[in-house]
Amino acid sequence: MRKNFIFNIILLIGLNLLIKPFWIFGIDRTIQNTVDVQVYGIYYTLFNFSFLFNIILDMGITNFNNRSVARQKDFLKENFSRIFSLKIILFFFYLLFMIVAGFIIWHNQLQIKMLIPLLVNQFLSTFILYLRSNVSGLLMFKTDSFLSVIDRVIMIICCGILLWGNVTDKPFDIMWFIYIQTFSYVVTCLLALSIVLRKTSFQKPFIDMAYCKVILKQSIPFALLHLFTSIHNRVDTVIIERILPVETGAEQVGVYASAFRLLDAGIIIAYLVSVICMPLFSNMIANKQKVDEILKTSFIILFVYGIVIAVASFFYSQELMNLLYVNHIQESAAVYKILMLSIFPIVLTYVFGSLLTANGNLKQLNIIAILAVCMSLVLNFILVPIYEAKGSAWASLITQMFIIISEIYLAIKLFQFKIKAHFILKLLIFTFGVILLNIASKYLPFLWWQNFSIMLTGAVVIVFISRLIKIKDIVALFSSMK
């Protein structure tokens, strides 16, 4: 089980590392550098706004469905047609609500023009996630791995042609970017739908109001958790844009987006691990199997990853921002240094959050999420007027630390995990080793990227020195794959 788990993680992460870094740093970054910073700031604010209330599109159905498909053999066949219809109904409610809210908050024609296709994109994106929840719930992790990158492959090709293909003499328009996303989501959605239909006896869509009430009632705890999580993760840019002066607000959102893009990119790895962990935990708990080994393995992977990224980003913030961007580098680096420290608690929440969700501890998770929303809002309203985007970065760090401490405490209490002193010692040795390695690397007489590469290589060595990961386990894993 453990070897199969690690193999699926390697495949999923490997495919995404081939595609998504180029999307983020090659395409998305180039577009931000190409278009006006205020225009991108408006786009990013509207994107986060559309994301903020996308819970209306899902109502927790995706997580509920993923858990149910993994636990119940015939759940997909019996429920797909009804849930399909329910998702369409929710889309119309979402579209109506968001358009009205958009007109109330914004009156500018450009903003409304951007908002409507972004709302459609949110629907397509969440529908793809729902379809993938069926695939992963059936433990078809290899298929899900390929589905996870198809939309980005299409976006890379289309945006690359417009950016570098000399097919137009017009400057890149942010609306092109939005419409390309729409096209890529449509293609991916159709492909995922065709895969799911082979696994179910799909009838024509029909509305079963009694069933809708039952499903919504069961998925409400998932919906609330998603809503609260979206608010404390995405409300920061909306607050920055709203409470600061008009031009300053849009500019600071652009600065924050520069830093947040890398955080968002870093979180992808943790999300991919959770895609496997969630149905796997659900299946194991339903069959009364111990989750200790899988939890420990996923925890170590993300602990190592989170520490390395967080510490390296802190020490090399200026160099990385200078490499990626052409505007507001100093401001972006200051925000990035703080914001990327949040990646350590965030990646760990994907493990413990998946475990607690699979175990059905939605009430406790929602209490944590509500407290996190309150904390995030209070901190943002206090810190943003004083420190602008940097204040929002501090708010994020404090909030995320509170969440992971709460979830770890809850998991230990519920599952009665035994934490051994020598395991804690290994974690501390690795953490302090990475910090010292970063400090030392800054004094090496080479170019910064060479120092950075040496530091990353040294971090891998420290993983084995601290014995968090043993060489014999790596050898055994690859031997089993032959």
DSSP string for residues in 193-241: HHHHHTTS-PPPP---HHHHHHHHHHHHHHHHHHHHHHHHHHHHHHHHH
Instruction: Concatenate the DSSP letters of all residues of 327-352 into one string.
Output: SSHHHHHHHHHHHGGGHHHHHHHHHH
pLDDT in the model for residue 43: 83
CB of 164 closer than 8 Å to CB of 174: no
pTM of the model: 0.74
Q: Which of 14, 61, 479 has its CA nearest to residue 268?
A: 14
Which DSSP letter does residue 172 get?
P
Question: Distance between CA 281 and CA 210 in Å, rounded?
Answer: 30
Q: Angle of helix 141-164 relative to helix 174-197, nearest 10 degrees? A: 160
Extract the tokens encoding 340. 């990327």
Q: Which residues are within 8 A (CB) of 78 and not within 5 positions of it... i.e. 6 or more apart? A: none
CB of 444 closer than 8 Å to CB of 317: no
Extract the tokens encoding 381. 């309203």
Extract the tokens encoding 144. 């899900």
pLDDT in the model for residue 90: 87
Q: Kindly compute the dihedral angle of the four CA atoms of residues 11, 12, 17, 21, in this order, to the nearest 10 degrees.
A: 160
In this prediction, the residues of the chain whose per-residue pLDDT falls under 70 are 1-13, 106-108, 201-208, 470-482
- Quick check: helix, strand or coil at residue 171? coil
Question: Distance between CA 231 and CA 63 in Å, rounded?
Answer: 18
Question: Distance between CA 340 and CA 427 in Å, rounded?
Answer: 20
Question: Distance between CA 454 and CA 375 in Å, rounded?
Answer: 39
- Domain residue limits, the chain: 2-418
Q: Which residues are within 8 A (CB) of 462 and not within 5 positions of it... i.e. 6 or more apart? A: 429, 430, 433, 434, 437
Q: 116, exposed or middle or buried, with CB in 10 Å at 0-12, 13-18, 19+?
A: middle
Question: Distance between CA 351 and CA 415 in Å, rounded?
Answer: 14
Question: Distance between CA 35 and CA 114 in Å, rounded?
Answer: 14
- Quick check: helix, strand or coil at residue 10? helix
Question: Distance between CA 482 and CA 480 in Å, rounded?
Answer: 6
Question: Distance between CA 185 and CA 189 in Å, rounded?
Answer: 6
Q: Which residues are within 8 A (CB) of 471 and not within 5 positions of it... i.e. 6 or more apart? A: 464
Give the amino acid at 193: L
pLDDT in the model for residue 371: 95
